[in-house]
Amino acid sequence: MKLDIITGTRPNLVKAAPLIKSLEDDDQIRYRYIHTGQHYDENMYEEFRTSLGLPKPEIAFNLTSKIAGTQFAEMVANYSQVIENSRPDICLVIGDVNSTLACALAARLHDVQVAHLESGLRSLDWSMPEEVNRVFVDKLSSFLFTPSSEATENLIAEGFNQEKVFFVGNIVIENLMNNLDKIMIKKRCNAFGFRANEYILATFHRKSNLDEKQRLSSIVGNLKILSESLPIIIPAHPRLIKKLAEFDFDSKFLGENILIVEAQNYIDFMSLVNESKFVITDSGGVQEETSFLGITCLTYRENTERWSTIFGGTNTLVNSENFLNQCTSAMKSKRSDIAQFEKWDSQVSRRIIDVLKKVG
């Protein structure tokens, strides 16, 4: 069976790594690893990929546009050409980014069956580009691999045929488990002059937080107040740097106790998460990684598609109004035991491979 595995952004790489590792010794599935190039910076892609032990892609697109719509069209065109040259039996796309939808669409245009890894997540917020991508990719898919029972229930409620839905578990956690030893010994915070438990880690990259000046100003204001109690480190996504500069903030200095550093590789980033007092984020994967590690996570969003982390008790949604109060509680929080979620384990890629062998 011939399988294409598509990645385009950092969170895709995290989810592709365990699957590719498990496929390396498999003699029934021949895979091609394809990277679209949506994320292209050294530290957003190349260094990140290497830190995950992910091989170089067999095919990498050379995208010329950085504008979302035209970049999307380029991805459709590039992957269509790849299929024309050599057809896979199944195209596996991951998560909810533009690359995911672009390649799923190209596959369907060429009658190639689509498998969606991390299917069924829903924030019900149609203003999020990721929610649009999730819903459309699921509609285009023949095989829907869900990370949680809630995700499976969402698909069933939307009328998907149960036989197409496979609850395989959370592959973000398989990746974390594969790298846990390295993360535990790393102590990346020392490189920035911090000690374990004595700093807060924050990440922001969503349009909904960054693209309006008023919203971003209120986030910066809140972080400044918070940093008087405990220093904050921000590994910055390029969009954050760009928007801070665009709205006339100093994109290198937001305050004495706020350290902005460049995007970190996976092991360094997870080490910073692991040693932090608590985490503030708008990322999807970080909500799950903190939950697994038992670290308090404040998610700076109006909603989430990762409801199991809220039900699990380690993740709380915050906004500009309740932020400082929630931080005061988070300061007092103790690290909880490693959380138990169904199929958040090291067997997710194995389950996916078993399904692919049955259906392919």
Identify whether 237 is a catalytic site residue.
no
Measured torsion, CA atoms of residues 23, 25, 26, 30, in degrees rounded to the nearest 10? 70
Among 129, 255, 294, 360, binds ligand UD1 (CB under 6 A): 129
Asked if 221 and 255 touch (Cβ cutoff 8 Å), the reply is no
Does residue 9 interact with ligand UD1 by CB under 6 A? yes
CA separation (Å) from 241 to 160, 178, 281?
A: 40, 31, 16
* Residue position matching structure tokens 């500009």: 320
Does residue 41 interact with ligand UD1 by CB under 6 A? yes
Does residue 240 interact with ligand UD1 by CB under 6 A? no
Among 11, 18, 57, 88, binds ligand UD1 (CB under 6 A): 11
Going by their DSSP bridges, the two strands 200-203 and 232-236 should be labelled as parallel
Among 44, 52, 165, 273, binds ligand UD1 (CB under 6 A): 44
Among 108, 164, 205, 335, binds ligand UD1 (CB under 6 A): 205
Among 5, 10, 168, 343, binds ligand UD1 (CB under 6 A): 10
Asked if 103 and 128 touch (Cβ cutoff 8 Å), the reply is no
Does residue 93 interact with ligand UD1 by CB under 6 A? no
Does residue 67 interact with ligand UD1 by CB under 6 A? no
Containing H/E element for 352?
helix 348-359
Does residue 289 interact with ligand UD1 by CB under 6 A? no
Does residue 125 interact with ligand UD1 by CB under 6 A? no
Does residue 188 interact with ligand UD1 by CB under 6 A? no
Does residue 57 interact with ligand UD1 by CB under 6 A? no
Among 39, 116, 277, 351, binds ligand UD1 (CB under 6 A): 39
Task: In angstroms, give the least distance from the CB of 252 to ligand UD1.
Answer: 16
Does residue 37 interact with ligand UD1 by CB under 6 A? no
Catalytic residue among 35, 116, 205, 237: 205
Q: Show contacts with ligand UD1 in window 148-167 (CB under 6 A).
A: none
How many residues bind ligand UD1 (CB under 6 A)? The answer is 22
Q: Cβ contacts of residue 303 below 8 Å, gap of 6+?
A: 123, 124, 125, 317
Asked if 146 and 321 touch (Cβ cutoff 8 Å), the reply is no
Task: In angstroms, give the least distance from the CB of 187 to ligand UD1.
Answer: 25
Asked if 104 and 92 touch (Cβ cutoff 8 Å), the reply is no
Give which of 126, 137, 135 is closest to 6, Cα–Cα.
137
* Residue 93 exposure: Cα atoms within 13 Å on the Cβ side: 32
* Residue position matching structure tokens 């259906």: 359
Task: In angstroms, give the least distance from the CB of 142 to ligand UD1.
Answer: 22
Binding segment (CB under 6 A) for ligand UD1, from list 136-144, 231-239, 304-312, 325-333: 231-239
Binding segment (CB under 6 A) for ligand UD1, from list 3-11, 15-23, 222-230, 294-302: 3-11
Q: Pull the structure tokens for residue 298.
A: 């404040």
Q: Given strand 90-94, what is the order of strands in its sheet?
A: 59-60, 30-35, 2-7, 90-94, 113-117, 143-146, 165-167
Q: Cβ contacts of residue 140 below 8 Å, gap of 6+?
A: 101, 104, 105, 107, 108, 114, 116
Does residue 117 interact with ligand UD1 by CB under 6 A? no
Q: In the chain, what is the greatest distance between 2 CA atoms, to the nearest angstrom?
A: 58
Task: In angstroms, give the least distance from the CB of 240 to ligand UD1.
Answer: 9
DSSP assigned state of 253: B
Task: In angstroms, give the least distance from the CB of 198 to ligand UD1.
Answer: 27
Cα–Cα distance for residue pair 14/9, rounded to 1 Å? 9
Asked if 50 and 265 touch (Cβ cutoff 8 Å), the reply is yes
Task: In angstroms, give the least distance from the CB of 37 to ligand UD1.
Answer: 9
Partners of 298 in the β-ladder = 280, 316
Binding segment (CB under 6 A) for ligand UD1, from list 94-102, 253-261, 328-336, 350-358: 94-102
Runs of H (alpha helix) within 126-212: 129-140, 149-157, 171-186, 207-210
Task: In angstroms, give the least distance from the CB of 175 to ligand UD1.
Answer: 15
Give the residues lining the site for ligand UD1 (CB under 6 A): 9-11, 38-41, 44-45, 66, 68, 96-98, 129-130, 205, 237-239, 242, 284
Which sequence positions are flagged as catalytic?
205
